[in-house]
Structure 1
Amino acid sequence: MKPYRLRRQTFLRDHAYPVWRDVVLTAAPFVLFFGLLVAALVWIVDPAPPGSITISAGPRDSVFMQNALEYKRILARNGIAVRVLESDGSVQNLKRLLDAHQHVDLALVQGGVSDGLPIQSLMSLGSVFYVPIVVFYRGSGMTQLSELEGKRIAIGREGSGTRMLSLKLLDANGIHAGGETTLLPLDGLDAAKQLVAGNIDAALLSGDSADRGLMLRLLAIPGVSVMDFAEASAYTRLFPYLDELDLPPGVLDLRRKVPPNTVHMISPMVEIVARRNLHPAISDLIIEAAQEVNGTAGLLQGAGQFPKLIAHEYPISEDAARYYKSGKSFLYRSLPFWLATVADRMLVLLLPVAVLLFPALRVVPALFRWRVRSRLYRYYGVLIAIERRAMRHATEAQRKSLLDELDGIEASLNNVRVPLAYADAFYVLREHVSFVRSHLVEPHSA
């Protein structure tokens, strides 16, 4: 049987590395694993808020567009860029949200325009303002839409929420498209001009286009009146997304007492509608902007009335419900937005990572101990082989060869680096080398 030969170069190469190499080789797989785990959770489970979003608003001079531009200005304070898209109105806004190729995140949508559309993928962040239907007509004393049958009526442009709601209200009063009544796609100032010129008999305007100035100008025209919805309560029962509003006497002009009597109106609310994948941090910023823009008192609302969370056609966002109930979280109240988003995401990741991290903290030291001790145990394998060879009545030449191998082991041990905590095991190994050497030298001395 051939004697066990120590492969010195391999042995020295395997054992002369510094201690930190053992630490790195032991901990590196765990560090890599947790790094990949955190990265996966950050980008898949809880992605960072986007740096930009897109809002579909409304016509250029509409209150929809004005509100969207105000939201844009406020979100810019927190480094969020907002792209505002002009549209024909609520119908087009809603269709853009439902079209994945449009890449629209939010839209201002008037109530009552979702009939027949698959809106399950959308959610509401809250209602932000009223857009009442205001009916101006030539004549006086009108209190029912059914009295407009057979006349020429402006009902709003194609794709607008005003047009869709006007068609529903007229249909409920027995006036249908294609009948004896002429329904014209006019709205806003164009409809008002045609009414004043006598080219149409009535105009159904939304609160978006029938602002205070236009209403005062129309009511100053002889023969033009505003309709009082005497059956406003009935409309709100038949159309749950409508609210009853009162225009008090003198609210448009106190000195001239315009209007002279209370005008009952009906109105849908405009909601901020979003896709379900909207980031919670962006949801909070949008609602915060709405509180600043829409929370003040106005002609149709009291201070603090908007925004408000009322379920109409769209399910309420869970993030929005949380915000309305408790406001901003502590992190977002205390830190800059970008820093709060980082801290918030880290807290979300803390629990799943901690579940795996604590066992790993126990495994890594055990693996490190095994790695250090295994370096010493390999020497014992060589020592046993040498000792067994010596016990077989080896010749003088064989003993000399074995002593040379022991010299190689000691030379290798001189290069071994172990942590101080394992110094006792290291010196015990050296004693055992001396013990084996004594067995090889004693017979020769005798």
Structure 2
Amino acid sequence: MKNLRYTTSKYITCVAFSWAVCLSSCTKEYQDPSRAKADVALTSQQGLTAVAIGLQRVYTLSRTGVMFNSVAANGFVTNEFSLLNSGNIPELQLSTGGTAVDGTNTILFNLWTSANKIIYDADLVITNANNLGDKGYASGLIAYSSIFKALAIGNLSQYWERIPDGTGKNVAFITRDAGFAKAISVLDNALTTIAANPISTGFNSNVPAINIVSTIHALKARYALFSGNYALAFTEANAVDLTRASAFNFDATSPNILFTIISSNNVFQPLNANLGLSGANVPDVADKRIPFYTVLAGAPATLRMAGFATATSTPFPIYLPGEITLIKAEVYARQSDLQKALTELNIVVTKTTDVFGVAAALPALTGPYTQQQLLDLVYKHRSIELYASGLKIEDMRRFNQPIAERKRNFFPYPFQERDNNTNTPADPSF
């Protein structure tokens, strides 16, 4: 396994050069005092590889990254998590919800800033890789960077009503639906590039291993589903290889940030053994996903998060096989093909293992079910299967779950953005 350390310290400046300015406003122009060095790096294969690897670092490896802040923000407002220490003010705001969440919240600011930095740096790689002579290596750079750009755009679109249309100064905003469409377009370009010039083995050996092609299809399926483009979601879901894992990998040098936070037992843990679900959505007592995602530990024993926050080296999935199967189940249900919807749903319900070890191992559902009952069951099993993935808030809206069951519907814009961009929209009321 490759860890996420840069391939050479010579290009660390190139990877990080926009970060300091990004902290003041993620839609300002990025200026760099060592710009000449960065420009040189962006003309070389080695330099562009370092920038590309840096995208994963920004996404995963610190408390300021997209991964942690997406999981945390989503978890609090959808009742997945319980706050352990009210002295953690950003978490307290999200745990309280409503108007307590405002533009000062640093979890939201870090999510916003890191996502915009990834978009900016990914654009540098995508644009400059086209100038390389080795088109197979360039194809890998473009595809790899496109995954992180799409994830960044997708995360912004999941949490905010409108998102910046790029990273320029005083940039305009677009609707979140347009954001999902933009993420899909980025992924389409990556697939077109790969088709023209297959990714070289040399590229794959130089970056942290992820299943690039399946990941692109999985993300297209996700964002097409969120956009209501069910035909595309279904087609892309069928293109995903569910027998191969695609995840962010960690080690002692580059640890899993969720484990680091959870092991402190000072920030958050699961709300309860039902993963915060209630009523008809409460998991079956025999559901093996509950002991996968939670564990009793400590003295006295308390409920703690397990799953993908179990150890320093626990990988974090970019997508789960169960997500892809449930996309197909949802598409069938929304198109009133109820028997096929039930068949796909039962693949998840009866699954005894997958490449990540997530499995309910329950008896098959037999029905008969109405369309609404099947959609309710898809929502329930997405909530369990995809616990602490950062996707639940989008599901709650899409499945018309009661507003009372979440603490925010959309997030306010960070004050730093509003202070530096006159195009920043008004905050949502809830």
Q: Place the TM-score, normalised by the shorter chain, in its bin.
A: under 0.3
Q: Of the two, which has the highest radius of gyration?
A: 1
Tell me the TM-score normalized by structure 1.
0.21
